[in-house]
Amino acid sequence: MANEVDFDELLGKYKSDPFDYVDIYSVHTGRVLFKTVEGQEVAAASGEWLQIPGTALYEINRERNPRIVTSHTNGIVAAINTELDGQFVEAGVKLMTIKHPLKKKEIIENILKEVLSLFPAPESAKYFFAMDIQSRIDKKGARAVTIEPGDEILTMSLMKRDTPVYYKGERGVIHSVYFKPGISVAQGEPLLGVCAPEKLSLIQKIITRVKADWDHDH
C-alpha cells in the first residue's frame, strides 16, 4: 500500500465517471441466447434472502440443459456482444457489460479496495471467523485485531465440510470485513481488507475526505 494517496486523482476519477463497469462472462460452455438488449435497465437480486432473482441476462444451453443467468447488480446494459447471440461459446467469454451507478458508500469501498490488501475467498462457500479471531473481535473490534501470515483466521463452510482458512499476506489489522456469516461468497471475491497498523490513520483520512468531498459536491 502506498504511503501517500493522490486524493485529487482518486476523487476526480470517481467524480468524472461515478460508475462501475461490470463485465458478464459465460458461466460455462454452451449456446447463448441473450435475454436483454443494450440500454436496458437491469435489477439485482432482491428480497430478504436475495431470493428474488435479478433481471435475466442470458440463457446458456449445454447438452439440452438450459440455464438462465441473472444480474447480480443493478444498472444499464452498456455493451452487448450481439454477434454471439445464438452461438456456441466457451466458458469465460465476455458477453456484455453492465454500467452500475455508484453510491457514496460504494465509492469509499472501491477506493479502500485499492489501498487495502484484499484477502480473497479460496472457494465459493460461506465463511465465518475462527473462534479465536471472533472472540478478539468481540472484545476489541476488528480494527484492533492484528493478523499474521499463517494465522487461522476463518472457517470455510461448504456442504457441512468446515475447512480452516489461513491468512496469507502482510501482517496487518482487519480494516474491512466483506462477508456476512450465512451468506455465500463467490470464489475470488474479497473476504477481508487488511492494512498495516501504522496506516490506519491514512485509511481514515481517505474515508473522511471522500465523505466530505462527496457531500459537498453531490
Nearer to another protein, 108 or 191 (CB): 191
Each residue of 120-136: b (16+ CB within 10 Å) or e?
ebbeebbbbbbeebbeb
Q: H or E segment at 79?
A: strand 75-80
- Piece of the chain touching another protein by CB under 8 A; list 48-56, 92-100, 102-110, 196-204: 48-56
Pick from 169, 181, 188, 197: which binds another protein (CB under 8 A)? 181
Q: Distance between CA atoms of 185 and 191, rounded to whole angstroms?
A: 8
CA angle (187, 122, 110) in 5-degree steps: 60
Nearest distance in Å: CB 171, another protein: 19
Is 163 among the residues that bind another protein (CB under 8 A)? yes
Is 48 among the residues that bind another protein (CB under 8 A)? yes
Nearest distance in Å: CB 182, another protein: 4
What residues numbered 142-161 form the site for another protein, per CB under 8 A? 156-161
Q: What DSSP line would sit under 137-192, residue for residue?
A: HHHH-GGG-EE-TT-EEEEEEETTEEEEEE--S-SEEEEEE---TTS-B-TTSEEE
Pick from 7, 33, 40, 53: which binds another protein (CB under 8 A)? 53
Size of the site for another protein (CB under 8 A): 25
- Sheet of 172-177: strand order equals 117-120, 190-195, 172-177, 146-147
The alpha carbon dihedral of 165, 166, 168, 173 has a sign of positive
The alpha carbon dihedral of 59, 36, 56, 125 has a sign of positive
Is 62 among the residues that bind another protein (CB under 8 A)? no
Is 133 among the residues that bind another protein (CB under 8 A)? no
Nearest distance in Å: CB 53, another protein: 7
- Piece of the chain touching another protein by CB under 8 A; list 36-44, 83-91, 93-101, 123-131: 123-131
Pick from 3, 16, 49, 215: which binds another protein (CB under 8 A)? 49
Is 47 among the residues that bind another protein (CB under 8 A)? yes
Q: Distance between CA atoms of 39 and 175, rounded to whole angstroms?
A: 37
Nearest distance in Å: CB 132, another protein: 13
3-state secondary structure at position 78:
strand
For another protein, the binding residues (CB under 8 A) are 47-53, 63, 123-126, 156-164, 166, 181-182, 184
